[in-house]
Amino acid sequence: MTEFTDVASAFAYGDSLLTGERVRLRGVREDEVATLARWEMDAGRSVTLSDRVAPPSEAAAKELIAKWSVNDGDTVGFAIETLDEPPVLVGHVFMFGIRAKDRNAALGIALGREHLGRGYGTDAMRVIVGYGFRELGLHRISLSVSPFNQAGIRAYEKAGFTEEGRRREKVLHDGRWYDEVLMSVLEQEWAGAGA
Protein backbone atom coordinates (compact mmCIF):
# COMPACT_ATOMS: atom_id res chain seq x y z
CA MET A 1 0.00 0.00 0.00
CA THR A 2 1.32 3.36 -1.07
CA GLU A 3 0.05 6.60 0.41
CA PHE A 4 0.10 9.47 -2.06
CA THR A 5 1.42 12.70 -0.67
CA ASP A 6 2.02 14.65 -3.87
CA VAL A 7 1.74 14.46 -7.66
CA ALA A 8 5.07 12.62 -8.01
CA SER A 9 4.01 9.75 -5.73
CA ALA A 10 0.62 9.54 -7.50
CA PHE A 11 2.32 9.35 -10.91
CA ALA A 12 4.79 6.73 -9.65
CA TYR A 13 1.91 4.51 -8.51
CA GLY A 14 0.16 4.79 -11.89
CA ASP A 15 3.42 4.21 -13.73
CA SER A 16 4.19 0.98 -11.86
CA LEU A 17 0.63 -0.34 -11.45
CA LEU A 18 0.38 -1.96 -14.89
CA THR A 19 4.01 -3.04 -15.27
CA GLY A 20 5.36 -6.49 -14.40
CA GLU A 21 8.75 -8.17 -14.76
CA ARG A 22 8.32 -9.34 -18.36
CA VAL A 23 5.29 -7.42 -19.68
CA ARG A 24 3.36 -4.20 -19.39
CA LEU A 25 -0.42 -3.71 -19.81
CA ARG A 26 -1.62 -0.61 -21.63
CA GLY A 27 -4.47 0.87 -23.65
CA VAL A 28 -5.03 -0.79 -27.03
CA ARG A 29 -3.61 1.27 -29.90
CA GLU A 30 -5.34 1.50 -33.26
CA ASP A 31 -2.47 -0.21 -35.07
CA GLU A 32 -2.81 -3.27 -32.79
CA VAL A 33 -6.47 -4.01 -33.44
CA ALA A 34 -5.74 -5.92 -36.69
CA THR A 35 -3.27 -8.30 -34.99
CA LEU A 36 -5.52 -8.86 -31.98
CA ALA A 37 -8.42 -9.59 -34.34
CA ARG A 38 -6.32 -12.07 -36.34
CA TRP A 39 -5.52 -13.99 -33.15
CA GLU A 40 -9.21 -13.95 -32.25
CA MET A 41 -9.92 -15.64 -35.61
CA ASP A 42 -7.42 -18.48 -35.00
CA ALA A 43 -9.46 -21.72 -34.88
CA GLY A 44 -6.81 -23.76 -33.05
CA ARG A 45 -6.41 -21.16 -30.37
CA SER A 46 -10.15 -20.89 -29.79
CA VAL A 47 -10.24 -24.50 -28.49
CA THR A 48 -8.43 -23.35 -25.34
CA LEU A 49 -10.14 -19.93 -25.17
CA SER A 50 -13.77 -20.70 -25.76
CA ASP A 51 -16.34 -23.47 -25.51
CA ARG A 52 -17.06 -23.34 -29.23
CA VAL A 53 -14.71 -23.23 -32.20
CA ALA A 54 -16.36 -20.72 -34.54
CA PRO A 55 -13.90 -18.04 -35.69
CA PRO A 56 -15.66 -14.66 -35.92
CA SER A 57 -15.42 -12.42 -38.98
CA GLU A 58 -12.62 -9.87 -38.89
CA ALA A 59 -15.19 -7.09 -38.40
CA ALA A 60 -16.82 -8.91 -35.46
CA ALA A 61 -13.40 -9.69 -33.96
CA LYS A 62 -12.36 -6.03 -34.19
CA GLU A 63 -15.61 -4.97 -32.54
CA LEU A 64 -15.00 -7.40 -29.69
CA ILE A 65 -11.48 -6.07 -29.11
CA ALA A 66 -12.79 -2.49 -29.24
CA LYS A 67 -15.59 -3.26 -26.79
CA TRP A 68 -13.19 -5.00 -24.38
CA SER A 69 -10.79 -2.04 -24.40
CA VAL A 70 -12.80 1.18 -24.03
CA ASN A 71 -12.43 1.10 -20.23
CA ASP A 72 -15.25 3.40 -19.24
CA GLY A 73 -17.74 0.85 -17.90
CA ASP A 74 -17.71 -2.38 -15.88
CA THR A 75 -15.08 -3.96 -18.14
CA VAL A 76 -11.38 -3.17 -18.31
CA GLY A 77 -9.14 -4.51 -21.05
CA PHE A 78 -5.54 -3.94 -22.03
CA ALA A 79 -2.98 -4.88 -24.64
CA ILE A 80 -0.09 -6.96 -23.27
CA GLU A 81 3.35 -5.94 -24.54
CA THR A 82 6.82 -7.16 -23.64
CA LEU A 83 9.30 -4.95 -21.80
CA ASP A 84 11.71 -5.35 -24.73
CA GLU A 85 12.89 -2.41 -26.81
CA PRO A 86 10.96 -2.09 -29.03
CA PRO A 87 8.08 -3.72 -27.14
CA VAL A 88 6.24 -6.60 -28.83
CA LEU A 89 2.47 -7.00 -28.65
CA VAL A 90 1.83 -10.50 -27.27
CA GLY A 91 -1.83 -10.58 -26.26
CA HIS A 92 -4.85 -9.07 -24.58
CA VAL A 93 -6.26 -9.38 -21.08
CA PHE A 94 -9.57 -8.16 -19.68
CA MET A 95 -11.80 -8.27 -16.64
CA PHE A 96 -15.56 -8.11 -16.97
CA GLY A 97 -18.78 -8.46 -15.01
CA ILE A 98 -17.55 -6.06 -12.33
CA ARG A 99 -20.34 -4.90 -10.04
CA ALA A 100 -20.08 -2.56 -7.10
CA LYS A 101 -22.13 -4.81 -4.84
CA ASP A 102 -20.08 -7.99 -4.79
CA ARG A 103 -16.79 -6.61 -6.16
CA ASN A 104 -16.32 -9.74 -8.28
CA ALA A 105 -14.70 -9.85 -11.69
CA ALA A 106 -14.21 -12.54 -14.30
CA LEU A 107 -10.95 -12.58 -16.17
CA GLY A 108 -10.05 -13.53 -19.72
CA ILE A 109 -6.54 -13.64 -21.16
CA ALA A 110 -5.41 -14.54 -24.66
CA LEU A 111 -1.87 -14.60 -26.03
CA GLY A 112 -0.87 -14.86 -29.65
CA ARG A 113 0.13 -18.48 -30.34
CA GLU A 114 3.71 -17.57 -31.19
CA HIS A 115 4.11 -15.90 -27.77
CA LEU A 116 2.99 -18.83 -25.60
CA GLY A 117 5.36 -20.62 -23.21
CA ARG A 118 7.66 -17.72 -22.38
CA GLY A 119 6.18 -16.59 -19.08
CA TYR A 120 4.38 -13.60 -20.57
CA GLY A 121 0.96 -14.94 -19.62
CA THR A 122 1.97 -15.71 -16.03
CA ASP A 123 3.43 -12.22 -15.61
CA ALA A 124 0.42 -10.53 -17.24
CA MET A 125 -1.86 -12.47 -14.85
CA ARG A 126 0.15 -11.31 -11.84
CA VAL A 127 -0.12 -7.71 -13.05
CA ILE A 128 -3.85 -7.71 -13.77
CA VAL A 129 -4.65 -9.49 -10.50
CA GLY A 130 -2.60 -6.92 -8.56
CA TYR A 131 -4.36 -4.15 -10.51
CA GLY A 132 -7.79 -5.63 -9.74
CA PHE A 133 -7.17 -5.71 -5.99
CA ARG A 134 -5.06 -2.52 -5.68
CA GLU A 135 -6.91 -0.16 -8.00
CA LEU A 136 -10.34 -1.63 -8.71
CA GLY A 137 -10.89 -2.66 -5.09
CA LEU A 138 -12.07 -6.16 -6.03
CA HIS A 139 -12.80 -8.92 -3.54
CA ARG A 140 -12.73 -11.90 -5.89
CA ILE A 141 -11.36 -12.61 -9.38
CA SER A 142 -12.40 -15.76 -11.19
CA LEU A 143 -11.83 -17.54 -14.47
CA SER A 144 -12.62 -20.81 -16.15
CA VAL A 145 -10.14 -22.95 -18.05
CA SER A 146 -10.20 -26.20 -20.00
CA PRO A 147 -8.78 -29.20 -18.12
CA PHE A 148 -6.55 -29.98 -21.12
CA ASN A 149 -4.95 -26.49 -20.89
CA GLN A 150 -2.38 -27.52 -18.29
CA ALA A 151 0.00 -24.69 -19.09
CA GLY A 152 -2.84 -22.23 -18.46
CA ILE A 153 -3.74 -23.85 -15.14
CA ARG A 154 -0.10 -23.72 -14.00
CA ALA A 155 0.14 -20.04 -14.95
CA TYR A 156 -3.06 -19.22 -13.07
CA GLU A 157 -1.84 -21.09 -10.00
CA LYS A 158 1.40 -19.12 -10.09
CA ALA A 159 -0.69 -15.94 -10.16
CA GLY A 160 -2.52 -17.09 -7.01
CA PHE A 161 -5.61 -18.86 -8.38
CA THR A 162 -7.04 -22.02 -6.78
CA GLU A 163 -9.35 -24.57 -8.34
CA GLU A 164 -12.72 -24.13 -6.64
CA GLY A 165 -14.84 -26.54 -8.65
CA ARG A 166 -15.69 -28.00 -12.03
CA ARG A 167 -18.65 -27.67 -14.34
CA ARG A 168 -18.94 -31.36 -15.19
CA GLU A 169 -19.18 -32.39 -18.86
CA LYS A 170 -19.83 -28.83 -19.86
CA VAL A 171 -18.17 -28.69 -23.28
CA LEU A 172 -18.41 -30.98 -26.26
CA HIS A 173 -15.64 -31.37 -28.82
CA ASP A 174 -15.63 -34.16 -31.42
CA GLY A 175 -17.77 -36.66 -29.54
CA ARG A 176 -16.25 -36.17 -26.10
CA TRP A 177 -17.33 -34.20 -23.06
CA TYR A 178 -14.90 -32.02 -21.13
CA ASP A 179 -15.25 -30.37 -17.73
CA GLU A 180 -14.75 -26.65 -17.29
CA VAL A 181 -12.35 -25.93 -14.42
CA LEU A 182 -13.37 -23.02 -12.17
CA MET A 183 -10.57 -21.05 -10.52
CA SER A 184 -10.53 -17.95 -8.34
CA VAL A 185 -8.36 -15.80 -6.12
CA LEU A 186 -9.72 -13.84 -3.15
CA GLU A 187 -8.56 -10.48 -1.83
CA GLN A 188 -7.19 -11.90 1.41
CA GLU A 189 -5.31 -14.71 -0.37
CA TRP A 190 -3.64 -12.18 -2.65
CA ALA A 191 -2.79 -9.83 0.22
CA GLY A 192 -1.42 -12.77 2.25
CA ALA A 193 0.76 -13.99 -0.62
CA GLY A 194 2.31 -10.55 -1.02
CA ALA A 195 2.91 -9.99 2.70
Partner 1 sequence: MTELTDVPSAFAYGDSLLTGDRVRLRALIEDDLPALARWEMDPGRQVTLTDRVAPPSEARARERFARMCANDGDAVGFSVVALDDPQPLVGSVSMFGISAKDRSATIGIALAREYMGRGYGTDAMRVIVAYGFRELGLHRIALTVAPFNAAGVRAYEKAGFTEEGRHREAVWHDGRWYDEVLMSVLEQEWAGRRAGG
Question: Which of these, 135, 41, 37, lies nearest to 79 by C-alpha position?
Answer: 37
Stretch of 1-9, 116-124, 142-150, 169-177 lying at the interface with partner 1 (CB under 8 A): 1-9
Distances (CA, A) of 175 to 166, 179, 185: 20, 14, 33
Q: Nearest approach, Cβ of 162 to partner 1 (angstroms)?
A: 22
Q: How far apart are CA 149 and CA 183, in angstroms?
A: 13
Stretch of 3-11, 44-52, 112-120, 168-176 lying at the interface with partner 1 (CB under 8 A): 3-11
Number of residues that bind partner 1 (CB under 8 A): 35
Pairing of strands 140-145, 104-111: parallel
Residue 83 binds partner 1, judged by CB under 8 A: no
Q: Nearest approach, Cβ of 37 to partner 1 (angstroms)?
A: 13
34, 60, 70, 193: which one binds partner 1 (CB under 8 A): 70
Stretch of 23-31, 51-59, 81-89, 154-162 lying at the interface with partner 1 (CB under 8 A): 23-31
Residue 135 binds partner 1, judged by CB under 8 A: yes
Angle at 120 between CA 164 and CA 26, to 5 degrees: 100
Residue 7 binds partner 1, judged by CB under 8 A: yes
* Strands across the sheet containing 23-26: 23-26, 76-82, 89-96, 104-111, 140-145, 176-186, 162-173
Q: Which strand (E) or helix (H) includes residue 37? A: helix 33-40
Q: Nearest approach, Cβ of 178 to partner 1 (angstroms)?
A: 33
Asked if 124 contacts 20 with a C-beta cutoff of 8 angstroms, the reply is yes
Q: Nearest approach, Cβ of 2 to partner 1 (angstroms)?
A: 5
Which residues would be at the binding site for partner 1 (CB under 8 A)? 1-7, 9-15, 17-18, 26-30, 33, 66, 69-72, 76-78, 131, 134-137
